[in-house]
Amino acid sequence: KQEVTQIPAALSVPEGENLVLNCSFTDSAIYNLQWFRQDPGKGLTSLLLIQSSQREQTSGRLNASLDKSSGRSTLYIAASQPGDSATYLCAVRPRSNTGKLIFGQGTTLQVKP
């Protein structure tokens, strides 16, 4: 059974700091992995999607990496800003069932001015 874990559950950093969020998954048979952002009480905004054949994806200050063999992904945020404060969720799409996403519990990030 695929399980997704995100550590830490919460993180507080001063503005301008570079930071890394971690995501691990137990079954390497994935189709792709996706990182989302969620503001309190809101829906999910897709940040980056990495196909299983890819190693990383970049968008602006965000960089996501994928190491399928070790079951790990990281989301790197450069030069953090208070507007980056949100919950970040990673989700894997199993190869056996591309119709669903399996989510971690998220990392809640606070960037202090």
Partner 1 sequence: ETGVTQSPTHLIKTRGQQVTLRCSSQSGHNTVSWYQQALGQGPQFIFQYYREEENGRGNFPPRFSGLQFPNYSSELNVNALELDDSALYLCASSTQQGAYEQYFGPGTRLTVT
Residues contributing to the site for partner 1 (CB under 8 A) = 4, 31-32, 34, 36, 41-46, 49, 51, 89, 91, 93, 97-106
Whether 76 contacts 90, CB under 8 Å: no
**Minimum separation from the CB atom of position 97 to partner 1 (A):** 6
**Minimum separation from the CB atom of position 106 to partner 1 (A):** 6
Tokens 């994928």: give the residue.
Answer: 66
Nearer to partner 1, 3 or 17 (CB): 3
Largest CA distance in the chain: 44
Nearer to partner 1, 46 or 58 (CB): 46
Sequential DSSP letters for 7-22: E-SEEEEETT--EEEE
Nearer to partner 1, 11 or 49 (CB): 49
Residue 40 structure tokens? 């309190």
**Minimum separation from the CB atom of position 72 to partner 1 (A):** 17
Nearer to partner 1, 86 or 91 (CB): 91
Q: How far apart are CA 89 and CA 5, in angstroms?
A: 10
